[in-house]
């Protein structure tokens, strides 16, 4: 029994050992495959292509300095028509909304009582003249008598005093006549300026009083016309600084103003700055800029809202950067991403002035020759290595297209915009 079982056990052991050897070889082979795959993965990671971006190279240039200011149209002159005497309106002469000239009759007030006052004043003047003549004759007579010592000095003095009093009475009577005539003339209400008259608030039969609070009508001169725009005091200081530094080249005598109307259309007349309000509002921090512009077709009406583009001159030594390339950081500062000579991405903080077309005007923060990323910047971060392709921009549309690229750095661009 024992002789039989020993050889069988030895055979079983050999078979098991043989199988274990095969399994071990399989494990070694699998381990080698895994190592090879990891090696290939590492090699492929090291060979990953750089992110492609589109850039433009910026250089210093000049750009127009234009202030865009909100404003309201106001009449060049305004005259509120009020009666200067009391009475009943006899006639309203003008047509509402029509053009009137300075001196045109607008209203007529019943003048019977004022005519009677003039007649009475004239009679008073005549009486005073007669009294003065009599007093003068008496004074002259006493002067002749005095030559022959035929009268006393007291009589002479009394006669001269009566004459002087009569002269004063005549002057007073003439002043009363002049006042009466003025009041009579005021019964005819005329326009003090030329312009367009609005609606009337009183018509024939209405009782009006001298210098009443409610105007009978209003005349406005609309050609030329004013636009009162507002600008911040901070902007005013900034412009003065640029002028002092020589960055802004402008001529105040040649400053032109272009208006944009409420419907977005451009007004066809060019305006000029008339004056600046020499005080800043304590509540808003702004001051008024008065612009004068011709208005032959009466397109502009008082109260209209407009945008005034004030051409101050040219900014020198600035950069033009596409708006699409500029973003804001957590502090609200304008920033761009640039690619240095080694293909490394860097963020720069800008000092922007204003927009010019589709570009920001940048005063500080960039250097001539900087390559600003305009395409693919959403795919990169500071310090990233990129492949930059030079781009050009259409000045009218702001669309980018690939320029003649540097073969050493050119790469495919992402399809998404920056």
194 vs 255, more confident: 194
Give the pLDDT score at 125: 96
The model's pLDDT over 330-380, given as tens digits with 9 standing for 90+, comes to 999 999 999 999 999 999 999 987 888 889 999 899 999 999 999 998 999
147 vs 124, more confident: 124
Residue 61 has pLDDT above 80, yes or no: yes
DSSP string, 277-332: -S---TTT-EEEEEEEE--TT----TT-EEEEEEEEEEEEEEEEEEGGG-EE-TT-
Cβ(134)–Cβ(162) below 8 Å: no
Helix (H) or strand (E) holding 138: helix 112-147
Cβ(321)–Cβ(362) below 8 Å: yes
**pLDDT-derived band at 154, boundaries 50, 70, 90:** confident
CATH 1.10.287.470 correct for 111-186: yes
**pLDDT-derived band at 13, boundaries 50, 70, 90:** very low
Question: Using alpha carbons only, what angle is made at residue 77 by residues 265 and 193, rounded to the nearest 5 degrees?
Answer: 125
The model's pLDDT over 310-319, given as tens digits with 9 standing for 90+, comes to 998 888 889 9
Give the pLDDT score at 298: 94
Q: What percent of the chain has pLDDT over 90?
A: 61
Question: Using alpha carbons only, what angle is made at residue 195 by residues 190 and 196, rounded to the nearest 5 degrees?
Answer: 95
Per-residue tokens: 264: 């977005």
**pLDDT-derived band at 270, boundaries 50, 70, 90:** very high
307 vs 247, more confident: 307
Residue 383 has pLDDT above 50, yes or no: yes
DSSP 369: T
Q: Average pLDDT over the chain, rounded to whole?
A: 85
Residue 413 has pLDDT above 60, yes or no: no
Round to whole Å and give the CA distance between 41 and 130: 131
66-75+222-314: CATH topology is: Elongation Factor Tu (Ef-tu); domain 3 (2.40.30)
Give the pLDDT score at 213: 93
**pLDDT-derived band at 15, boundaries 50, 70, 90:** low
Calculate mean pLDDT across residues 59-76: 93
The architecture (CATH level 2) of 51-63+315-402 comes to: Beta Barrel (2.40)
Q: Which of 304-308, 316-320, 328-332, 410-414 has the lowest mean pLDDT?
A: 410-414
Cβ(55)–Cβ(369) below 8 Å: no
From 408, 402, 397, 407, select the one nearest 53 (Cα to Cα). Answer: 402
Calculate mean pLDDT across residues 270-277: 92
- Judge whether 51-63+315-402 and 66-75+222-314 match in fold: no
306 vs 40, more confident: 306
Round to whole Å and give the CA distance between 58 and 39: 44
Give the pLDDT score at 21: 52
**pLDDT-derived band at 214, boundaries 50, 70, 90:** very high
Give the pLDDT score at 223: 95
From 398, 387, 391, select the one nearest 356 (Cα to Cα). Answer: 398
Calculate mean pLDDT across residues 23-42: 49
Domain coordinates in residue numbering, the chain: 51-63+315-402, 66-75+222-314, 87-109+187-218, 111-186
Per-residue tokens: 100: 């009137």
157 vs 231, more confident: 231
Is the pTM for the entire model greater than 0.85?
no
87-109+187-218: CATH topology is: OB fold (Dihydrolipoamide Acetyltransferase, E2P) (2.40.50)
Round to whole Å and give the CA distance between 216 and 211: 10
**pLDDT-derived band at 417, boundaries 50, 70, 90:** very low
**pLDDT-derived band at 49, boundaries 50, 70, 90:** confident
15 vs 160, more confident: 160
Q: Which of 54-68, 136-150, 177-191 has the lowest mean pLDDT?
A: 136-150
The model's pLDDT over 171-205, given as tens digits with 9 standing for 90+, comes to 999 999 999 999 999 999 999 999 999 999 988 99
């Amino acid at each position: 029994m024992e002789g039989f079982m020993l050889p069988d056990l030895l055979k079983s052991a050999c078979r098991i050992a043989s199988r274990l050897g095969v399994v071990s070889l399989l494990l070694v082979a699998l381990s080698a495959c895994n190592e090879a795959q990891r090696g290939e993965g590492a090699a492929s990671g090291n060979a990953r292509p750089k992110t492609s971006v589109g850039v433009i190279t910026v250089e210093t240039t000049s750009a127009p300095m234009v202030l865009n200011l909100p404003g309201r149209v106001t009449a060049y002159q305004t005259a509120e028509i009020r009666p200067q005497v009391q009475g009943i309106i006899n006639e309203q002469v003008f047509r509402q909304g029509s053009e009137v000239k300075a001196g045109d009759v607008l209203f007529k007030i019943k003048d019977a009582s004022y005519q009677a006052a003039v007649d009475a004043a004239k009679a008073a003047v005549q009486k005073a003249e007669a009294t003065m003549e009599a007093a003068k004759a008496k004074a002259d007579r006493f002067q002749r008598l005095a030559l022959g010592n035929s009268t006393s000095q007291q009589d002479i003095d009394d006669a001269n005093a009566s004459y002087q009093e009569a002269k004063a009475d005549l002057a007073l009577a003439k002043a009363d006549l002049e006042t009466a005539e003025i009041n009579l003339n005021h019964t005819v209400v005329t326009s003090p300026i030329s312009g367009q008259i609005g609606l009337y608030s009183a018509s024939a039969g209405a009782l009006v009083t001298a210098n009443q609070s409610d105007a009978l009508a209003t005349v406005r001169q609309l050609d030329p016309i004013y636009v009162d725009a507002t600008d911040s005091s901070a902007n005013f200081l900034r412009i003065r600084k640029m002028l002092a530094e020589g960055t802004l080249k402008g001529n105040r005598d040649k400053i032109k103003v272009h208006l944009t109307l409420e419907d977005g259309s451009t007004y066809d007349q060019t305006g000029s700055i008339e004056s600046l309000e020499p005080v800043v509002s304590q509540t808003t921090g702004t001051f008024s800029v008065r612009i004068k512009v011709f208005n032959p077709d009466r397109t502009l009406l008082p109260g209209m809202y407009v945008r005034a583009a004030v051409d101050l001159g040219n900014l020198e030594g600035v950069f033009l950067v596409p708006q699409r390339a500029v973003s804001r950081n957590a502090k609200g500062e304008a920033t761009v991403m640039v690619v240095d000579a080694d293909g490394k991405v860097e963020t720069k903080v800008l000092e922007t002035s204003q927009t010019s077309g589709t570009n920001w005007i940048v005063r500080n923060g960039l250097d001539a020759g900087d390559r600003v990323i305009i395409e693919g910047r959403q795919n990169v971060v500071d310090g990233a290595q990129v492949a930059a392709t030079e781009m050009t921009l259409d000045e009218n549309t702001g669309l980018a297209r690939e320029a003649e690229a540097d073969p050493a750095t050119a790469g495919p661009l992402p399809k998404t915009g920056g």
